[in-house]
Homo-oligomer: A and B are copies of this chain.
Amino acid sequence: MKPLTKTPASESLARLVGQSVDAIDTPALVVDLDAMSRNIARMADFARKHSVLWRPHAKMHKSVALAKLQMQAGAVGICVQKTAEAEIMAEGGIHNIYISNEVVAGPKLARVAALAHRLREERGRLAIAVDSVEGIARLAQAMSEAHNEHHTPTVIDVFVEIDVGQGRCGAAPGEPAALLAQEVLRHPGLRFAGLQAYHGKAQHLRGALQRREAIGCVLQDVLSTRKVMAARGIPVELVTGAGTGTLVCEASSGVFGEVQAGSFMFMDADYAGNDRDPAQPQFEHALFVKTQVISSHMNHAVCDAGHKSHAIDSGLPKVVAPDPESELEYFNGGDEHGVLRPAGTGHRLPAIGRMLWLIPGHCDPTVNLHDYMIGVSGGLRTGTVERIIKVDARGALT
């Protein structure tokens, strides 16, 4: 294991390795490594079965070590959302990176171009998304300036993003997207690599049928765009997208060649709220917040994990019931506290000092709250701390 940067926090965490899960102070972000490994294996099998590439989104785990594990298991590379994430991953030895997002600022694009150049030297590859003529022009300018600086040609792979229902980034499908592809083709430093089509809002549609219908619409948008491009002699070599919620829809479409799902590795309470699609792998929870009861009263108890420990943008965490007679519901207690109440009549409240496990509402922003994750093997009840996982790209926003 690569040595951690020497800080008091990392030194005290390093001492945990080999100790029982009981020794972990609270609140803490804990990974069930066995569950995580099974999820990685499930994804690898799934991608193989469907003959799609899997390029898991590293925005979720932000960890070089976990990106490497995924690539060792067959992932073709990683996605990131930010230039800074790409730089940190590249520094850690990940050389196949797709910034599945638009970058328009001059200084950022200079960094993008430098990274493209560097990854090429490592026989790797950098890709990026575009959704405007302005953005393409700026990207081309940056690549051209980098060429002049390095005196070697560097090419960056460019995906044209289409808005397939998210209402966020992306050109309209069809003609507008084709125009952008033609723009990309005009610049020698840019290589048109295909279409980015991610429907974020579909990921948490609760019904499996709803999700299939939503991706059905996505497919129509992708096919119509591909058709217009074909008519202009522009081949689309790859369509990339998909999240953990809709994964099987894109993977089995025969249209998408690459899936970007990231949350599958850890899962969270929001994804657990989806009705299961039987055709999709059953990923299991691998990310938990360990917390402790600090105050106990007649009708409620208080634990030491609030929304500085786990993100609540997609809902409050679920409490893993300590025993069948003590099912608990978590209520918002602020930044540093959680309020626990019995989930049913007659259910017992935990006493002061009791340790509990929470399943975070949303894994990505939960990981981003922590500098380290504590990896446990042998399960949460009786397991051992096996490794400390640094959240290398924590807070990497630019």
Interface of chain A: mostly helix, strand, loop or mixed: loop
Determine whether A101 belongs to the interface, using a CB cutoff of 8 Å to chain B.
yes
Q: A294-B104, A352-B132 are in contact. Are A302 and B333 (CB under 8 A)?
A: no
A102 to chain B, nearest CB (A): 5
Pairwise interchain contact A25-B105, C-beta atoms closer than 8 A: yes
CB distance from A365 to the nearest CB of B (A): 5
Contact of A339 among B168, B308, B309, B369 (CB under 8 A): B168
Give A366 to B127 CA distance when docked, in angstroms: 31
Minimum CB–CB distance for A212 against chain B, Å: 22
Q: How far is the CA of A365 from the CA of B81 in the complex (A)?
A: 22
A11 close to B (CB within 8 Å):
no
Q: Count contacts on A: residues with CB < 8 A to the other chain.
A: 62
| Cα distance, A332 to B204, chains bound together (Å) | 15
Contacts of A20 in B (CB 8 A): none
Q: Which chain B positions have C-beta within 8 A of A300? A: 167-168
Query: A104 is contacted by which of B309, B337, B353 (Cβ under 8 Å)?
Result: B353
Provide the bound-state CA to CA distance between A337 and B81, in Å: 10
Show the binding face of A for B, using Cβ within 8 Å: 9, 25-28, 59, 81-82, 101-105, 107-108, 131-132, 134-135, 138, 163, 167-170, 200, 292-297, 300, 302, 304-305, 307-309, 311-313, 332-337, 339, 351-353, 364-365, 368-371, 395-398
The 7 A-B residue pairs with the shortest CB-CB distance, nearest first, are A169-B295, A81-B336, A25-B398, A102-B294, A134-B352, A104-B294, A27-B397
